[in-house]
Amino acid sequence: MNRQNQPLDFHKARALMLSIEENASPCDRYSIGIVCKQQIRAIATKSSKVILASLFTLCCGLVLGQTALAQQYQVSYLDDLGGSSRGSSINNRGWVAGFSLLTGNQRRHATLWRDGSILDLGTLGGPDKNSSVVWPVKNSRGIIAGISQTDAAEVLGENWSCSAFFSGPKQFGYTCLGFVWESGVKRALLPLPGGHNSFATGADNIGQVVGWAENGVHDSTCVPPQVLQFRPVIWGPGTEQIRDLPLIAGDTSGAATAINNRGQVVGISGICDQAVGRYSAKHAVLWDNGNAVDIGNLGVELWNTPMALNQHGDVVGFLGTDPTDLDGNFLRGFFWSKKEGIQEIEPLPLAGHISSQANGLNEGGQVVGFSCTIDSDCRAFLWENGVLKNLNDLVAPGFNGVLLFAQDINDQGEITGRAFDPATGLRRAFVAVPVSQGQSIVKTTSSTSRARVVLPEDVKQSLRKQRGLGSLLR
């Protein structure tokens, strides 16, 4: 695929980085701390305290040395299907999944970028319908999970969760189902008995897909036009298998948003509400061994939504901060671990920034997301070991855009999301590859110019509708 403003090709850079990583000793990688501690423990049983102390000093010195040095990223735009686009997920094979609007920006289609090509994943209805990959899909098998309109009319008049993530004149009015795609084959993920709609977010390496599905119960806690309650579900690994997950006691609806390869699932539990965010996300939940665990909040039972988790069981997402904030204007990103609990991720220290959202993380504990002003002037961030950085400050020379949303990061540190291209006025999918590990950051003219870019009002209007679960009312 063609990429602009890119001195080093994405796949060449990625191959080089992987080659370096594979040939490095364990203490040279970003996972140095964990690996070195394991090595030290193994040696400790056979070594003197002096040798042990020397090993610990050497290993920790390398860790601190790497932490002190800033990382730069080679950033490239990804091709599109004719309109604006976004990368929502990047796996360890370098596959980017998300969406691209078609020519005319009237509808979006789920899109896969892999091995230098772009693939329109189509819809479960006609080509005039919408589809999208919205969440990070963390598996290396190549399974893509997303949502799509069908040709069937929405007989109950519900907007359903999908409508917040679609566009154009046909944003509403059609039944929406989750889908799973693998090796060129796409199939619909049906709702629970009696339901009409479903929504898929993630998949693991054995073929289990998570999301949420209506069950046919007319729920009095639903806010019109929503009628039916919905439950967090796991589809698979068989093609006809579906099971729902338990809710927090007293709740009626919920959703699963991510799954790891240990069978752990995260999501939300609450009331039906409007079927997206708000009070349907009263509780942020980790399902572990089938048990629903409330992982906490910031004192508000509103908008508490995990977005991703890794194989360690660490979780990232966003939390409500104000009980009156039904529009989700003042959300706060978070990182949760079983040992440390919730750590807040503050907005970037930029003028007017009041909210933050964490979207993706990797096995090294690197977290990506975005920070916004009240009128949705947003910037992508990288959070690691408690340190928050504006991703735009880490861009190597040669890229002309502004990184708005960082949606996902893989274990090689590659990041995808959405950028504003001032040359075309489009919001475009990007991929950022770390290419200067071990070198201090170089301040560039392009970084300074990006800081001065003022987003056009039509761009900010569009971003108000695309800030994740907080978008339905804006």
pLDDT value at residue 455: 73
Q: How many CB atoms lie within 10 A of CB 152?
A: 13
DSSP single-letter state for residue 441 = -
pLDDT value at residue 290: 86
Look at the alpha carbons of 34, 38, 43, 46 in this order and tell me if their dihedral is positive or negative.
positive
pLDDT value at residue 66: 36
**What CA–CA distances, in Å, run from 458 to 288, 362, 375, 376, 455?**
43, 33, 11, 11, 8
Q: Model pTM? A: 0.84
Give the separation between CA 374 and CA 388, rounded to whole angstroms: 20
DSSP single-letter state for residue 436 = -
Backbone angles phi, psi at 21, to 5 degrees: -65, -40
The pLDDT tens digits for 159-169 are 999 999 998 99
Give the separation between CA 462 and CA 447, rounded to whole angstroms: 24
Q: Are 291 and 245 within 8 A, CB to CB?
A: no
Strands (E), 61-107: 73-77, 82-90, 96-102
Q: Of 69, 73, 62, nearest to 29 (Cα)?
A: 62
Give the separation between CA 386 and CA 405, rounded to whole angstroms: 19
Q: Of 345, 364, 354, nearest to 63 (Cα)?
A: 364
Q: Consecutive 10-residue runs of the chain (474 residues): their mean pLDDT?
A: 44 44 36 38 38 38 38 95 97 98 93 97 97 95 98 97 93 97 97 98 98 98 98 95 97 98 97 96 96 97 98 98 96 97 98 98 98 95 97 96 98 98 95 74 51 65 52 33
pLDDT value at residue 61: 38
pLDDT value at residue 469: 42
Residue-range domains of the chain with CATH: 10-66 (no CATH), 71-471 (2.130.10.10)
pLDDT value at residue 193: 97
Backbone angles phi, psi at 177, to 5 degrees: -130, 150
pLDDT value at residue 104: 87
Tokens of residue 242, six digits = 């579906």
Give the separation between CA 432 and CA 394, rounded to whole angstroms: 10
pLDDT value at residue 21: 39
Q: Are 417 and 86 within 8 A, CB to CB?
A: yes
